[in-house]
Amino acid sequence: MNIDLFKKLFDEGCISETSFEKVKGTSRATLFSLHWEIKTLLYLGVMLLSSGLGILIYKNIDTIGHQVILLIIAAISAGCFFYCFKNKKPFSKDQVKSPNSFFDYILLLGCLSFLSFVGYLQFQYTVFGTNYGMATFIPMVGLFYIAYEFDHLGILAMGITNMAIWMGVSVTPKQLLLNSDFNSQTVIFTYLFLGLLLLAAGYLTTYFSFKKHFRFTYQHFGVHLSFISLLAGYFFYHDSGLSLLFMVVLFALAIYIYKDAMKHHSFYFLLLLVIYTYIAISSLVLRVIFSIKDDTSFTLSFMYFIASAIGIIFLLINLNKKIKAA
């Protein structure tokens, strides 16, 4: 609002003092953005709609029929994708903004419906037989294509999750720690391969300047998977010299993540680096302390955790200052 114009009108006697004061009060009032509130409501709306349809179908499965349910899910998915393809912006290797606020959520609903359709089809009619890999491979390919075609980070994360399912693992770090069986060489090396593959994908997006903003998502999953699998390998092979090899790889990866985080000014990845490296170093230190096998080992371990906790605090403070100064 041009307050100078109203001041000029007030000086010339065209508007009253009361009106001029109201204009000044309005100009000083800051606007409140509802951007994230609206986006959150839209996201919750999509989730609630998907959940509500699932509950409705579950409670009325006997009266509706499987074919009708599949037709409804397919119609929702097809309608969403039709809208998105009709309204999407031209493809670009750089970041592409959504045409409007509703676009991303309609695309998300379409993908969720697509996954439900494929899962329902396999569960009810076993169209892929016992080849469950195809039931996850097809959605994975579709999700990665949609993520790049429509430039959607959320769909990219769903694609990575489906890749993990296809490889027979779960990509969520919490589920890795709570539900996975790390007493298996196959599981450990599968996690490690997937983690390093995602880190490589994140690096290549920047190297070839192709959807560079996807780097964070790839690296987020890659860092968690790689470090967790390397720590698991160390504990699994703790009685052999192979455990030290896992530690060497872990520290080499830590150096790479540190340089990359400093290059991209990412305190988040520095924080992850400090946490996982601290766990690795603590494992080595405690292994040495408890090899003493006397009463002092508990005292030394207690003192170590106190001193290391203080050191971690100062380290994070210094890293934060360093990354801001870079």
Secondary structure (H, E, C), 92-132: CCCCCCCCCCCHHHHHHHHHHHHHHHHHHHHHHHCCCCCCH
d(C-alpha 274, C-alpha 316), whole Å: 8
pLDDT of residue 282: 95
Burial of 194 (0-12, 13-18, 19+ CB in 10 A): buried
d(C-alpha 122, C-alpha 127), whole Å: 5
pLDDT of residue 318: 94
Fill in the amino acid letter for 297.
Answer: S
d(C-alpha 229, C-alpha 189), whole Å: 7
Please give the model's pTM, rounded to 2 decimal places.
0.79
Fill in the amino acid letter for 250.
Answer: L
Helices 3-11 and 17-28 meet at what angle, rounded to 10?
Answer: 170
Structure tokens at 273: 């680096």
pLDDT of residue 208: 94
Q: Which residue has the tokens 């041009």?
A: 2
d(C-alpha 239, C-alpha 249), whole Å: 18
- Which CB contacts under 8 angstroms, 24+ apart, belong to 265-273? 265/323, 265/326, 266/216, 266/323, 267/319, 267/320, 267/323, 269/219, 269/223, 270/316, 270/319, 270/323, 271/316, 272/223, 272/224, 272/227, 273/223
Q: What is the pLDDT along the chain (326 residues), one digit of tens a residue?
A: 456 676 777 677 777 777 767 766 666 555 555 556 666 777 677 677 777 766 766 666 666 677 888 888 899 899 999 999 999 999 999 999 888 878 888 898 899 889 888 888 887 788 877 777 788 889 999 999 999 999 999 899 999 988 988 886 544 455 555 555 555 787 788 889 999 999 999 999 999 999 999 999 999 999 999 999 999 999 988 878 788 999 999 999 999 999 999 999 999 999 999 999 999 999 999 988 888 777 788 888 999 999 999 999 999 999 989 888 87
| 219 contacts 205 by C-beta, under 8 angstroms | no
Burial of 262 (0-12, 13-18, 19+ CB in 10 A): middle
pLDDT of residue 2: 57
Fill in the amino acid letter for 308.
Answer: S
